[in-house]
Amino acid sequence: MSDKSRAPGAHFSEVLARHVNRRQLVGGILLGGSSLVLASLGACGSARTGRGAAGVTAPAAAEPALSFEEIPHRLDATHHVPRGYRGDILLRWGDAVFADSPAFAPRAQNGERQSRQFGNNNDFIAYMPLAEERAGTTRAAHLASANSRRGLLCVNHEHTRPQQMFPGVGGNAPGSAASEIAADMAAHGHSVVEIELRDDTWRAVLDSPFNRRITPHTPMRISGPAAGHRRLQTAADPGGRDITGTFANCSGGVTPWGTVLIAEENFRHYFHGDPAAIEAEHPHEARMHRRFDILGSARHYWHLREPRFHIEREPREPNRFGWVVEIDPYDATSQPVKRSALGRCQHEAATVVARAGAPVVVYSGDDSADEYIYRFVSAAAFDADNLDNNRDLLDSGTLYVARFNDDGSGRWLPLRHGEPGLTRADGFASQADILIDARLAADAVGATRMDRPEDIETSPVSGRVYVSLTKNDQRRRADAANPRQPNPAGHILEILPPGGDGARDHVADEFQWNVFLLAGDPQAPPAQRGRYGDNTSAHGWFCNPDNFAFDPGGRLWIATDGFVDFGVHDGLWAAQTSGPGRASCRHFFGCPRGAELCGPCFTPDGKTLFVAVQHPGDEPGATFAEPTTRWPDFREDMPPRASVVAVRRQDGGDIGG
Ligand code: FEO
Ligand code: CA
Ligand code: CA
Ligand code: CA
C-alpha cells in the first residue's frame, strides 16, 4: 500500500499511530514502553494503538487505496492471485510438523501418524512473531519484535470430509475402521508451526521447540464460572474441570498478552444418539442437544471408539464443547484453557479489543441460523506492563448479547444472573447455567436473531466493528439488521460504538449500526440484489461473506464460503471502509473448485498474506478415488489437500498496493 503516514498534512497522532502500528507493535505491546498501548486484535495479531478513555481506538487515518489488478470470477481446479503476486503453498494437510514426523501416506494414515502431521481443513490463522534472538526472550519481547520474517503460524483444523480423506469411503459415511477414526480425530484441532521467510519464501522450521499439535485428545481444563458445574461432570471427569480435547475449531482471535483464542463451532456433528432417549432422565440436556441439532446420527464415527461421543452414554459431554479455548503458542507444554465466561454456543470467532488500563472486550458470533452476536467485557483491566497478569482476565466479566433496533440504534444486553428473565424462576439456577445455555439466556432477554453470524473484526483505523452474516435460508421475518427473507447471499453489518472514528468506546452498552453491504449479484432482481460501493467492478461482487481480516492500513479483506454454490469460486475480496472507495470491493484471491477460503491473516508489515484453502474438491460425488481436483499437488497418488497459502508481491511491496 502507499504510505499515507507521509502524506502532507497528516496529523502527528495519525503518523505516530500508523508508524507504531506498522513497525513496532504487535499484540498490544509497544516497543520501549507501554504508555501508548491499545490493541484491537484481528485474526493475526495485528494491533492498533491509541490513547484516551476506556476501550477507545486509535486516531483515525485515511485508508490507502487498493491498486492491485483484480482477478476474474472463475471456477477451476487451482488457486489464483493477481498479476504481480505469488501464492506459494506453505503447509498442506499431512505435512510434517516435527523433524521426525512420518511422511504423508494418504493410503496408510492412522492416528499416530496424523498426530505428528499438519491437520486437515485449515481455518483460522494467527501469526505470532518471534524475535530473532531466542535465548531468554520473553513473550513480551517476541510480541514487541513485530518480526514479519519469523513467527509462529497458529492454525485451526476445523473438520474433515472422510469420503475424500480415506480410500473406499463413500457418500457422507465416515470411515469406520479403527485406524480411520483415530486418523480422523487427529486431523482435527490446531497446529503451531514456526515459519521463517528466507530468499523471499516462507518455510516451516521443523526442529522448533514451539511446534505443537493440539487434538481432540489434548488434555485441557475449563475455567471461569461454569468450571466444575454439575452439568460439565462426566464419568471420566467427575470434577467437571478437566476436558479431553478440542475440535470443530473454526475461527479465533489473538490477545494482546500473546495468546491465541480458538472457537469451537460445529461440535454438534460429532455426537451420536437420539435426545429422545435421554428425555426422561435428562430433559434439559435433551432440549439443549436439540437446540444444537444433535439429532441422532453423527457425521463421524467417534462414538464407536469413545463412548463419550454417544449422548445416550454420556449425556453431558456436549456441554464441554462450544467454548472459546485459550492457547499459549509461546509455550508448547502449556495446557489450553476453555474460558467459560465467554459462554457456550457455536462460536465462530473471538475478536479481542483491549487498551492498557481498560477492560478487555471480546466479540463473538454464534454461527447458526437465527442465533446471536455476543460481547464479553472483562471485570479487570488489561495490564500492559506485566503480560502474565492477564492470563486469567477472561475468567471474570460480563457476557452481553446484541439487540439491533430498526432505527439504527442498538444495545448490548447483559446476560447476568438475577436480571429480569435470568433468574432461578426463569430456569437459570446460577451464572453457570446462563453461560452453558447462552442461547437460552439470549432468547430470554430479547436479543436479535441474526442471519448466521460468522467472523467479526474491528478496524485498526476507525474502531468500527464489522460482522459477516453469511446467509439464512430459514428466516421467517425480515428486520432492518437482517433485511432479506430468505437471505441466500448474506450481508455485512457495521457497528459503531460511541465516540467517533478513532475514539470508539467498545465498553459502552449503546451503539449505532448500519448495513455495510448486501452481498449477491448487483444485477439480480431487487429482492436479492447485491449492494456495494459505487466503484465495485464486474468481478467485485461475491456471496456468503465468512472470514474477515484487516490489513495494517485498515482495509477490510472478506473471505467467502458458499459463492461456489452460485457457480463462482470462493475466495477473497478487499474494500476500503471509508472514503469514496467505501464498500467498493475488488477480487484478490480465488480458490480451487470445491473449496472455501478461511484464515486471512497479514504479517505485521502487511507484506505477506496467509490464507487457508479449506476442503478443496469438496463437491457432490467427490471421493478419494475420484476427486474433482488434486490441488495443490496435482499428482495421481495424492488427494486434494487443504493448505495454507502464503501470498507475497513479487516486488516485495505491501499486499493490496
Ligand atoms: Fe466454521 Fe461458521 O464457519
Ligand atoms: Ca467460518
Ligand atoms: Ca478474522
Ligand atoms: Ca465456513
Q: Is the CB of 317 under 6 A from ligand 1?
A: no
What is the per-residue pLDDT across 415-442, written as a single tens digit (0 to 9) for each?
Answer: 999 999 999 999 999 999 999 999 999 9
Q: Is the CB of 264 under 6 A from ligand 1?
A: no
Report the C-alpha dihedral over residues 582, 15, 465, 579, rounded to 10 degrees. -10
The grid cell for 439 is: 442461547
Q: Identify the CA nearest to 184 among candidates 93, 294, 263, 123.
A: 93
Q: Is the CB of 250 under 6 A from ligand 1?
A: yes
Query: Assign residue 520 a region: left if phi > 0, alpha if psi is -120 to 50, beta otherwise?
Result: left
Res 173: pLDDT: 56
- Ligand sitting nearest the alpha carbon of 615: 4
Q: Is the CB of 454 under 6 A from ligand 1?
A: yes
Confidence of residue 18 (pLDDT cuts 50, 70, 90): very low
User: Does 518 have pLDDT greater than 80?
Assistant: yes
The answer to whether residues 14 and 501 touch, using CB atoms and an 8 Å cutoff, is: no
Q: What is the pTM of this model?
A: 0.92
Atom of ligand 1 nearest to the CA of 348: 2
The answer to whether residues 202 and 644 touch, using CB atoms and an 8 Å cutoff, is: no
Confidence of residue 162 (pLDDT cuts 50, 70, 90): confident
DSSP lists the bridge partners of residue 618 as: none
User: Does 6 have pLDDT greater than 80?
Assistant: no
Res 134: pLDDT: 81
Atom of ligand 1 nearest to the CA of 547: 3
> How many angstroms separate the alpha carbon of residue 44 from the centre of ligand 2?
15
Instruction: For Cα atoms 78, 82, 87, give the angle at the middle one, nearest 5 degrees.
Output: 55
Q: Which residues contact 9 (CB under 8 A, 6 or more apart)?
A: none
State the CB neighbour count (10 A cutoff) for residue 157.
28
> How many angstroms separate the alpha carbon of residue 216 from the centre of ligand 1?
18
Q: Which residues contact 140 (CB under 8 A, 6 or more apart)?
A: 29, 258, 387
Which residues have CB less than 5 Å away from ligand 2 (the ion)?
250, 454, 546
Q: Give the burial class of 247: count Cβ atoms within 10 A of its Cβ; 0-12 exposed, 13-18 middle, 19 or more buried.
A: buried
> How many angstroms separate the alpha carbon of residue 17 from the centre of ligand 2?
30
> How many angstroms separate the alpha carbon of residue 138 from the centre of ligand 1?
34
Q: Is the CB of 367 under 6 A from ligand 1?
A: yes
Which residues have CB less than 5 Å away from ligand 4 (the ion)?
546, 561
> How many angstroms separate the alpha carbon of residue 516 from the centre of ligand 2?
19
The span from the CA of 547 to the CA of 453, in Å, is: 10
Confidence of residue 178 (pLDDT cuts 50, 70, 90): confident
- Ligand sitting nearest the alpha carbon of 363: 3
The span from the CA of 69 to the CA of 656, in Å, is: 9
The answer to whether residues 144 and 31 touch, using CB atoms and an 8 Å cutoff, is: yes
> How many angstroms separate the alpha carbon of residue 25 from the centre of ligand 3?
19
Instruction: For Cα atoms 116, 223, 114, give the angle at the middle one, nearest 5 degrees.
Output: 10
What is the per-residue pLDDT across 478-506, written as a single tens digit (0 to 9) for each?
Answer: 999 999 999 999 999 999 999 999 899 99
* DSSP summary character for residue 20: I
Confidence of residue 592 (pLDDT cuts 50, 70, 90): very high
Q: Is the CB of 455 under 6 A from ligand 1?
A: no
* DSSP summary character for residue 156: E
